[in-house]
């Protein structure tokens, strides 16, 4: 029996042999939120829930960008992510994935799509991708999500990856939701028409913040060298 924490999205699996007849609750191992599970009798009687399509109603054509916006996005990414490099688009909806791939390819980014999250995770850890577009739950049951793979990177490697998380639960561009999702930008699929402007704005701000970090690191290294 499986469920997901409503607070942090952590997947929780219970051995079927240990599931009691009555409903029960467990604490999320990640954030300690109480998660309710149905008992065997309730689960057997309930019809299987229909899964909502988080990309329903999302535009599927590539976002249109004015020439000046296109140039802004290209400049922001090339300076903020260590070069345009390659992007990984790992989304369950191929039409939405193609829309975002079209946006990235229009500025010269090579885009990969994958059905193999394990291989994608290895390539992320090897520093192959400068941009990763995915969803919060994009993983097989019991496997790490791509977001979790990005979160495990070293600080130096993490700053080189722009992580965009799609989901109908998000308000596009919300910094608090992005932080909670371990991403750099959250994007509601219905706002794909504005994806270029949102991405350019986020990368520019991210570049500015990291420059403060890099300047401070350089000063510390110079001070240490002078001390020795």
Q: Which domains are delineated in the chain?
A: 2-45 (no CATH), 67-216 (3.40.50.2300)
Tell me the per-residue pLDDT of 116-137, one tens digit each, with 9 for 90 and over.
777 888 888 888 888 899 988 7
Q: What is the DSSP letter of 49?
A: P
Q: Between these two residues, 228 and 105, which has the higher pLDDT value?
A: 105
Please state, in angstroms and rounded to a whole number, the distance separating the CA atoms of residues 81 and 135. 20
pLDDT at residue 177 in the model: 92
Greatest Cα pair distance, the chain, in angstroms, is 73
What is the per-residue pLDDT for 164? Answer: 92
Per-residue pLDDT tens digits for 171-209: 998 989 999 888 989 999 888 888 888 887 887 777 777
53-73 b/e (C-beta count within 10 Å ≥ 16 → b): ebbeebbeebbebeeeebebb
According to DSSP, the β-strands at 162-166 and 185-187 are parallel
Question: What is the per-residue pLDDT across 133-173, written as a single tens digit (0 to 9) for each?
Answer: 998 875 555 678 888 889 889 888 888 888 999 988 999 98
CA 57 to chain centre: 20
18-60 per-position pLDDT tens digit: 888 888 888 888 888 888 888 877 666 655 554 555 455 555 4
Is residue 107 a contact partner of residue 73, using CB atoms and an 8 Å limit?
A: yes
d(CA 83, CA 76): 10
């Amino acid at each position: 029996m499986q469920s997901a924490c409503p607070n942090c999205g952590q997947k929780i699996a219970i051995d079927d042999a240990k599931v009691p007849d009555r409903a029960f609750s467990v604490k999320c191992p990640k954030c300690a939120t109480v998660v309710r599970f149905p008992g065997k009798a309730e689960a057997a009687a309930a019809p299987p829930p229909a899964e909502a399509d988080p990309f329903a109603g999302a535009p599927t054509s590539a976002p249109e960008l004015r020439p000046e916006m296109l140039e802004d996005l290209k400049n922001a990414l090339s300076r903020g992510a260590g070069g345009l490099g390659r992007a990984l688009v790992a989304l369950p909806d191929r039409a939405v994935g193609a829309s975002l791939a079209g946006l990235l390819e229009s500025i010269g980014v090579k885009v990969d799509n994958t059905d193999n999250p394990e291989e994608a995770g290895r390539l992320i850890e090897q520093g192959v991708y400068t941009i990763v577009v995915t969803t919060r739950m994009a993983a097989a049951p019991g496997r790490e999500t791509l977001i979790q793979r990005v979160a495990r990177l070293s600080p130096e490697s993490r700053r080189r990856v722009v992580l965009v998380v799609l989901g109908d639960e998000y308000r596009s561009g919300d910094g608090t939701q992005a932080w909670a999702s371990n991403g750099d930008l959250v994007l509601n699929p219905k706002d794909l028409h504005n994806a270029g402007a949102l991405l350019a704005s986020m990368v520019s701000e991210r570049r500015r913040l990291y420059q403060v970090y890099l300047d401070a690191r350089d000063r510390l290294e110079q001070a240490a060298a002078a001390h020795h």
